[in-house]
Structure 1
Amino acid sequence: MLTPSEKFQLIEHTIRQHQLKNQVSFLCELAGVSRSGYYAWLKSAPIRQRKDIEDEINIELIQFIFQQKKEKVGALQIKIILENDCFVELNHKKIRRLMRKYQLIAKVRKAKPYKKMAKATQEHRTCPNLLNREFNQEAPGKVLLTDITYLYYSNGQKAYLSSVKDGSTKEILAHYLSSSLEMDIVYNTLSRLEEALKQGFHPEAILHSDQGFHYTHPLFQAKIKKLGITQSMSRKGNCWDNAPMESFFGHFKDEVDYKDCNSLNELKQLVDSYIEEYNNHRYQWGLNKMTPVQYEGTEKLTFFN
């Protein structure tokens, strides 16, 4: 269905092409628009031209960011990048309008169906869920979220990425990539977490995971206890109980061409590069338009005041 503006444009084109100046009323009635509306549309032509020029200037910036991020960012992320990197203020609704107008469609993963969310509420715990989805407790280092995801690369070879994410700052504090699902993948991740938190763990630190065999293993649980960390687990089969960690893995798989890697070493370099970018240069709406590292600094100031 055509918009009134598109109908006015069609009427104007028809009149000009066929010299039907005396048929305005007839054409407006035929198109289902008012005669006064058509003349008001004609009168506003200079304003539309000015807006079109502004749109052309703005879309150049939007297209540059969109292409730079490999067509994997939406209007909100583009808005934050424009503000922080280009010092340009643009309403996110205008960015969406321009993206639709110029057919810039972000490559994103499909949302999970609501039926799966409903099924995920079934109770089955092997360890208390201490968070109950309260991931952000306004204290850096207090809530530590961890999980493992698989990555297929180089003609179907499989690698596994283990990561730890700060629930407050959304920073990826530690990660480890392996070709094996042996227990070493979580032990190495834990060692890197210790190295990252040089000032020690939060006195009320919680490590939250799913009920996978890595996290229920007696030796792993002993290591966690020795570090003074309290362990928490999602309900069985309930990915929503660890949603921020799942979200990070989802963004990674959307935005990184990891399937093109030819070796595990190449994949490691790609993972390292993405996480460095994510922590230090990815502005996030939920972090007051700051990066995780920037937000961590402000959170620590607030926490210690």
Structure 2
Amino acid sequence: IMQMEGLQCRVKVKKRKATGQPTHIAEHLLKRQFQADEPMQKLVTDITYLPFGGKTLYLSSILDLFNGEIVAYSIADKQDTSFVLDTLHQLPDRPGMMLHSDQGSVYTSQAYQDAVKGKGITMSMSRKGTPADNAPIESFHSTLKSETFYLEELTCTTTAIVEQTVRDYINYYNSIRIQTKLNNQSPIDFRRLAA
């Protein structure tokens, strides 16, 4: 009867959850060994969101485990592979360097994996759902937000102000802010004295 009347019934389409493994998951090589003997030996990376005034920007940063220095970062209004590639391309080509991330889709993408290999970097990834495997960069992002966004209540502001706030904070964090674990020195001072 419905065909004769040209009617069709509406059917709710079930969404399927991806059950397969992403294709480019690197082994968990870092194994929470968050110390490095020299600069640019072991690096960790992640993305955090920067909420302000009903909007959100994203920060991709790379931290050197030798001294806790932020050695590369990018800010964008969306999380995509080109965003993390911008951050990655700030690193020097240094064969043997290890870069650790979570299993986010931007890090498991073919383009990112190819770029990492092209720089001679060994990739390591956290176990799924285990942020403690990437604790140093998670801690930095938390510190950045608590010492800037939450402290200064950057709620009604502009993208330019947020970007400048992050730039200023990373400069302060690397150059001025002392850390007990670095013998009460800033990351850059610690690296210079170790050279």
TM-score range normalised by the length of the shorter chain: 0.7 to 0.9
What is the rounded CA distance, in whole Å, between the counterparts of 2:156 and 2:110 in structure 1?
35
2:79 to 181, 186, 192: 181
Structure 1 235/215 Cα, relative in aligned 2: closer, same or farther at 3 Å? same
Tell me, yes or no, if structure 1 residue 139 matches structure 2 residue 31.
no
1:171 Cα offset (Å): 0.2
Tell me, yes or no, if structure 1 residue 167 matches structure 2 residue 65.
yes
What is the rounded CA distance, in whole Å, between the counterparts of 2:29 and 2:70 in structure 1?
21
Q: Note the residue ranges of structure 1 that are not aligned, 5 or more in a row.
A: 1-124, 195-199
What is the rounded CA distance, in whole Å, between the counterparts of 2:117 and 2:156 in structure 1?
38
Please tell me whether the aligned partners of residues 81 and 107 of structure 2 are also in contact (alpha carbons under 8 angstroms). Answer: no
What is the rounded CA distance, in whole Å, between the counterparts of 2:130 and 2:168 in structure 1?
30
Deviations 1:38-79 (A, max 9, x none): xxxxxxxxxxxxxxxxxxxxxxxxxxxxxxxxxxxxxxxxxx
Match of 2:117 in 1: 225
1:192 Cα offset (Å): 2.3
Please tell me whether the aligned partners of residues 209 and 215 of structure 1 are also in contact (alpha carbons under 8 angstroms). Answer: yes
What is the rounded CA distance, in whole Å, between the counterparts of 1:274 and 1:127 in structure 2?
31
1:296 Cα offset (Å): 0.9
Tell me, yes or no, if structure 1 residue 259 matches structure 2 residue 120.
no
1:298 Cα offset (Å): 2.4
List, as ranges, runs of 4+ consecutive aligned residues in structure 1 with deviation greater than 4 Å.
none
Please tell me whether the aligned partners of residues 47 and 59 of structure 2 are also in contact (alpha carbons under 8 angstroms). Answer: yes
TM-score, length basis structure 1: 0.53
What is the rounded CA distance, in whole Å, between the counterparts of 1:227 and 1:281 in structure 2?
30
Higher relative contact order (CA 8 A, sep 6+): 2
Tell me, yes or no, if structure 1 residue 244 matches structure 2 residue 139.
no
The 5 Å alignment of 1:46-125 reads: none
1:255 Cα offset (Å): 0.5
1:207 to 76, 86, 99: 99
Match of 2:169 in 1: 274
What is the rounded CA distance, in whole Å, between the counterparts of 2:138 and 2:43 in structure 1?
13
Please tell me whether the aligned partners of residues 261 and 267 of structure 1 are also in contact (alpha carbons under 8 angstroms). Answer: no
What is the rounded CA distance, in whole Å, between the counterparts of 2:102 and 2:190 in structure 1?
27
Q: Note the residue ranges of structure 2 that are not aligned, 5 or more in a row.
A: 1-23
What is the rounded CA distance, in whole Å, between the counterparts of 1:126 and 1:221 in structure 2?
9
Residue 170 of structure 1 aligns to a residue whose secondary structure is: coil
Number of residue-to-residue matches in the alignment: 169
